[in-house]
Amino acid sequence: MFSPDQKQGIVGERWAYEQLVKRGWPVKQMPYFGNQAYDLKIHNLPIEVKYARTTYRRKQRQGLTIYAARWQWFVHPSYEQLNDRDWVLILIAEDQKKIKYPYILPGNILEGRNHLQITSHPKQYKGWLDDWRGEWGIIEFLTQKTYLDDGPTYHQWKAGQRIVA
């Protein structure tokens, strides 16, 4: 039997799997739920998926109680076993209208963080994760190892792709 958190995680994993397949990637699901380091794999690239629905925190402002939306993800510390290799983290924020906003980022930029959150709706959010919203291209960049041998950074590579396209 799955816990409520595990059931919610399965929703996110299924959605990410479908999105990756739709984009033509040969995605493999990990055979059991207990694999704490990652959930999916494309070639040799591990992918961890985290899914969050809107939660609210209570705040006092000018004597009034307001409830501010936020989305939070906890990445199990077992991801640190992947830090000597490339891996991808897909964070999915689902809003009240059931719209999903994915943040696809290289896992190595976590630099020890295991709790991530955004504190405004994904359409308005402008923090450091915003650079990674909808960035499915990071998967191609990492699977091709484009950055090796003095290759471009991801953002340089992406800008070059736009010019060519």
| Region label for 43, one of left (φ > 0), alpha (ψ between -120 and 50) or beta (otherwise) | left
Q: Kindly report the pTM of this predicted structure.
A: 0.87
Query: Which CATH number is 128's domain given?
Result: 3.40.1350.10
Three-state SS for 102? Answer: strand
Q: Name the domain count of the chain.
A: 1
Residue 144 covered by a domain: no
Is the residue at 140 inside a domain? Answer: no
44-97 tens-digit pLDDT = 999 999 999 999 999 888 999 999 999 999 987 776 667 678 999 999 999 999
Please measure the distance between the N-terminal and C-terminal CA atoms of the chain and give it in whole angstroms: 48
Residue 96 lies in a domain: yes
User: Reduced to 3 states, what is the DSSP secondary structure of residue 41?
Assistant: strand
Given a cut of 50, is residue 164 above it in pLDDT?
A: no
Mean pLDDT of 9-21: 93
Q: Which residues pair with 90 in a beta bridge?
A: 49, 104
Has residue 53 been placed in a domain?
Answer: yes
Least reliable range by pLDDT among 15-19, 28-32, 109-113: 28-32
Kindly give, in sequence order, each residue whose CB lies less than 8 Å from that of residue 165, ignoring residues fewer than 6 positions away: none
Q: Please give the share of the chain, as a percent, with pLDDT higher than 70.
A: 90
Phi, psi of 157 (to 5 degrees): -60, -45
pLDDT tens by residue, 97-137: 999 999 999 998 888 888 999 999 999 999 999 999 999 99
- 156 in any annotated domain: no
